[in-house]
Structure 1
């Protein structure tokens, strides 16, 4: 029987205005995590507010966020589970509202942790969803009326709009920006499609004024009538200063029946963790809120994980990047002091600062141009950043292996940790209002993508890359099964196998062992499967319906051992 705890026993009161619940929740988490056996911490139904002023702060380096930028070393975290074992946190009906810029939760250095039932949202989301509710031409000038959700804060300053966050305890605003901010994606509720595109809302502006509590009228210097009535322009800045949630150096972690109404920064990241499950969760804005963006970037990211990564029966609606991405990290080989030592570096500006290797791990060296293996070895020791401080260089890793490697590896090769690659099951999920891909996956262990529904993704629905030159996300797939899914009108190939090589050689494939079976494809001008440099493709038992523009059902580039049955 787990030891019971309740946050109200630590002075936390639900539905208590905007009182900061962070200190009491911190105390409750500490007490529940300190017991020697299983523990259960309960959040009674109601609304809880958490401010960054009293939040736990940690210096952390997280994949695909801000790299080693010193301005963003410290992350404010609303709910921290640290060094815990056999802990369950339950909160059906509990709504946690975050203020400012924070990570919703972090599970760090923990084993067998389960979070269930909690709902996370932000009082002021860092994405502005502006709907065009009026448009036309008056007195020879075009105009638009845009409506923003009640949660969006703004002020009109001359012929400009300043969007901003709340005023914090320090007296400073959490964030601010003007007009179109730095990035825009567009949502069409009528066609139920979302894409990245041009933002005309604040071009050639003559005047700006408020015409209601949430309506802003923008008049222009030109007379071209706007043709975007009803569209939603989702605008944000581009700095991913926080992970939306974090599972770090932990194992046996389950997120169940969680509701993520908004995630600031870079989604929920599972990093260098083992056996992580996300089940029956919703990534979607609150109904009736007027908001459309539930995430600042990706929804779920598995980086350098091992064991099993499972995502099942979830709803992914309204991200600003890919809903699910599973990958490792290639490090560039920059030096070779001796036959058993490699000097490596993080080459991408958004990923750096965390450890990659442990003694006994298997490392593979690949040619960056072809992604073909040129050597492999067992790690003996590594000098590398800790992921928790900046006492060591944040981009540099030195690895010593147990056997001699070929010489002259610097400059043209990259290294991957083969040990930190998970098997993956993605099943029973729904993907909608996605501007990019639905699922990105690059791992050499078994991958099953089964029984999902992909609705009008802006790009490919399932994307398999492997690249040592741009995002540096490793590695090849060796056993990928895609079965029983429904692909509805994707913006790119429904299944896209596209390793980032500079040349194609059917005799030296990057990917292998791909089975696409029992799926239903509803397509308009795109193929069901587009594959490059892949050996052993089986495409059978699939149904293909063409909506409009024709296209080949299958496109193959430098592939071998392909069997197709229609």
Structure 2
């Protein structure tokens, strides 16, 4: 094995602890690393590095579940770009990269055997406003609140309104701006350890607003009852996912290890069209003592159209605005069928378009969109599709040529999944907390093992298995899923929820197969430990269930066949509802 060449960003002018823009030096260091043959280690010595967008590389990219083909957001600004590089280690224990403006923290594109290790990423001005109610009451007959925002939040009071905004960039424009409750709110309760989506009362019936103290704002109201939300945190943001938080695109053998994500703007760490990606010992959490509670603008981690193995282990996920981990493929709607071997496919969801989905030799499955039952299989012989890197071709349509005849009249009622681009999944020893949604979403037909995780009071299910060709268009069915040795603490929905989105469930034609729920500990309110629909071969054994609220069903089965359910949990009989 050749000895790796060693470089440091300080060799190119980056100054740890300085406040000047380190982006030119970081870009030069990466270019130098790309020019060397053999393995390279690029080091960030300990200290802070500020990265501004003006000198950062930009690429036209189309990323799953973001802004689709909206031309306003074609170009992505990338603070740390690894492109067409093999055998690279980026090491940075003790180094903190502080991003300014709107950027993707890093992207690994068209690369192999890349490891990013030890870095901490944060934003100078996060794009989520965390407002804590620190005082509430009635004064002179008027209800009021005092809210406190973190040091990193920029704002101005303008009459009876607040303008939140990002930094002023070199162009003179602000990075982002919005007013009052912005476009979306979720509410975090530090005392109960729960985070939920809900209405925002902070800016209703406002009589006056004034800044008081250093980071505090008093809001008086012209009518209403005394506020009863002392201590709650209103997490407010805009809704456009204009950038991926980080991106692993069309790459293989990528490992993200020991990283600390203090804030991710946009859509989390997205692995797209990649093979063998591992995320290990990473921390997704705001800096302790910062007054911030939101570490992610949306999801934390998403695998879309990947293959090989997708691994997430020994991580902490704390404070996203959507799902911490989501693994899925993409169904494409069949919009036309010119002949028996040709399909005209369409991206159906507005947030996904412009990315390639197929290569010659890939295997596809065609399903009935209402039942998700397979109709036919074929091998891809040729494809005309967008590149994911430019807009010279149509961004919402794909023409697929198959190597054998297909059934006729497939247009409008069927969908296609690339079954070659589906990963095996291992999710182990992670902690999920302050989550408004599900903990783990997974839809892949290869082996899935979810083990030894702790799910603390997610707003919905702990583990969610969907598959739908009508809403999010996230494919596909599970065939071998094991959920074992996990702890589910008071989830807001079924702890394990197998929920294919079909018009009517039929036990003779199941969507999912081979789901084992074994050796888990469930602490539940009135929700079930397992709720499953249209699934064959469920095993539910050696689990323990503790009820913290009113008793409900322990297991709910809807149109499920060949289920093997252990009927006793300790000394108590299992409460099972079977709905045919």
Which bin holds the TM-score, normalised by the shorter protein?
over 0.9
How high is the TM-score relative to the length of structure 2? 0.97
- Determine the C-alpha separation between the residues in 1 that align with 2:18 and 2:184: 36
What CA deviation, in whole Å up to 9, does each residue of 1:12-65 have, x standing for no partner?
A: 111112x11001100101111221101100000000000011110000000000
> Secondary structure, in 3 states, of the residue corresponding to 2:472?
coil
Determine if contact 1:162/1:176 at 8 Å carries over to the other structure: yes
What CA deviation, in whole Å up to 9, does each residue of 1:174-208 have, x standing for no partner?
A: 00000000000000000011000110000000000
Runs of 4+ in 1 over 4 A off after TM superposition: none
> How far did residue 110 of structure 1 move?
0.1
- Determine the C-alpha separation between the residues in 2 that align with 1:543 and 1:503: 32
> How far did residue 72 of structure 1 move?
0.2
- Residue in structure 1 matched with residue 7 of structure 2 by the alignment: 5
> How far did residue 223 of structure 1 move?
3.9
- Residue in structure 2 matched with residue 181 of structure 1 by the alignment: 182
1:330 correspondence with 2:318: no
- Residue in structure 1 matched with residue 22 of structure 2 by the alignment: 21
Determine if contact 1:111/1:252 at 8 Å carries over to the other structure: yes
1:87-102 map, 5 Å = 87-102=88-103
1:6-405 map, 5 Å = 6-17=8-19, 19-405=20-406
- Determine the C-alpha separation between the residues in 1 that align with 2:431 and 2:98: 25
> Secondary structure, in 3 states, of the residue corresponding to 1:201?
coil
Determine if contact 1:141/1:222 at 8 Å carries over to the other structure: yes
> Secondary structure, in 3 states, of the residue corresponding to 2:562?
strand
> How far did residue 140 of structure 1 move?
1.1
What CA deviation, in whole Å up to 9, does each residue of 1:108-131 have, x standing for no partner?
A: 000000000000000000000000
- Residue in structure 2 matched with residue 455 of structure 1 by the alignment: 456
Task: Number of aligned residue pairs: give it.
Answer: 565
> Secondary structure, in 3 states, of the residue corresponding to 2:7?
strand
Give ranges in structure 1 of 5+ residues lacking alignment. Answer: none
- Determine the C-alpha separation between the residues in 1 that align with 2:142 and 2:214: 24
How high is the TM-score relative to the length of structure 1? 1.00
TM-aligned CA distance change 1:400 to 1:223, over 3 Å: closer
> Secondary structure, in 3 states, of the residue corresponding to 2:31?
helix
- Determine the C-alpha separation between the residues in 1 that align with 2:8 and 2:21: 17
- Residue in structure 1 matched with residue 504 of structure 2 by the alignment: 503
> How far did residue 409 of structure 1 move?
0.1
What CA deviation, in whole Å up to 9, does each residue of 1:200-226 have, x standing for no partner?
A: 000000000011110000000114100
- Determine the C-alpha separation between the residues in 1 that align with 2:371 and 2:309: 28
Deviates more, 1:533-542 or 1:33-42: 33-42
- Determine the C-alpha separation between the residues in 2 that align with 1:190 and 1:377: 54
Give ranges in structure 2 of 5+ residues lacking alignment. Answer: 569-580
- Determine the C-alpha separation between the residues in 1 that align with 2:35 and 2:63: 26
- Determine the C-alpha separation between the residues in 2 that align with 1:543 and 1:559: 22
- Determine the C-alpha separation between the residues in 2 that align with 1:523 and 1:329: 33
- Determine the C-alpha separation between the residues in 2 that align with 1:561 and 1:29: 55
> Secondary structure, in 3 states, of the residue corresponding to 1:561?
coil
- Residue in structure 2 matched with residue 485 of structure 1 by the alignment: 486
- Determine the C-alpha separation between the residues in 1 that align with 2:409 and 2:565: 42
> How far did residue 408 of structure 1 move?
0.1
Determine if contact 1:57/1:76 at 8 Å carries over to the other structure: yes
RMSD after superposition = 0.4
Determine if contact 1:137/1:223 at 8 Å carries over to the other structure: no
- Determine the C-alpha separation between the residues in 2 that align with 1:139 and 1:371: 62
- Determine the C-alpha separation between the residues in 2 that align with 1:549 and 1:469: 35
Determine if contact 1:140/1:223 at 8 Å carries over to the other structure: no
Determine if contact 1:34/1:84 at 8 Å carries over to the other structure: no
